[in-house]
């Protein structure tokens, strides 16, 4: 699925800072480790800095999972396992709309993730600008 998505090629083309430094995504261990796609260190003797990296990124990744959980909790029909059929529904479009609506709710009522990182969400006007 990763190869079919063209994501790695798009990251190579578009995910660089103005100074040319690469931005990267962080994925779970199922993904290949690349410059633009970072993953936990695994399958080898881990050094102390590698262990610290894995632990710190695991904490951040867990906070991102809270957001996915929020979407399913607020929009029960988005529970893929129970309700959606990938080839029979516009799952991707529905998910994006639900994510935008959930973000709008976060602008009004800060969520667990914004509180965890001690960040105020933007106003609705700024979010939709």
Q: For each successive 10 residues of the chain (129 residues), what is the average pLDDT? A: 89 93 89 91 87 88 83 80 68 88 92 87 94
- Distance (Å, rounded) from C-alpha 74 to C-alpha 77? 9
pTM of the full structure:
0.64
Q: Which two tokens stand for residue 42?
A: 């695994």
Burial zone of 17 (CB within 10 Å; 0-12 exposed, 13-18 middle, 19+ buried) = exposed
Bridge partners (DSSP) of residue 37 are: 25
In angstroms, the CA 37 to CA 94 distance is: 26
Q: Nearest Cα to 8, choosing from 29, 30, 33, 43? A: 33
The reported pLDDT for the residue numbered 79 is: 72
């Amino acid at each position: 699925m990763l190869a079919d998505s063209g994501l790695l090629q798009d990251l190579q083309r578009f995910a660089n800072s103005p100074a040319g430094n690469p931005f990267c995504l962080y994925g779970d261990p199922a993904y290949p480790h690349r410059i633009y796609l970072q993953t936990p260190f695994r399958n080898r003797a881990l050094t102390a800095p590698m262990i610290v990296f894995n632990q710190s990124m695991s904490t951040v990744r867990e906070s991102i999972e809270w957001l996915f959980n929020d979407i399913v909790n607020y929009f029960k029909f988005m529970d893929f396992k129970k309700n959606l059929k990938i080839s029979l529904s516009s799952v991707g479009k529905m998910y994006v709309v639900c994510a935008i609506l959930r973000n709008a709710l976060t602008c009004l009522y800060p969520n667990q993730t914004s509180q965890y990182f001690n960040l105020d969400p933007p106003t609705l006007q700024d979010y939709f600008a």
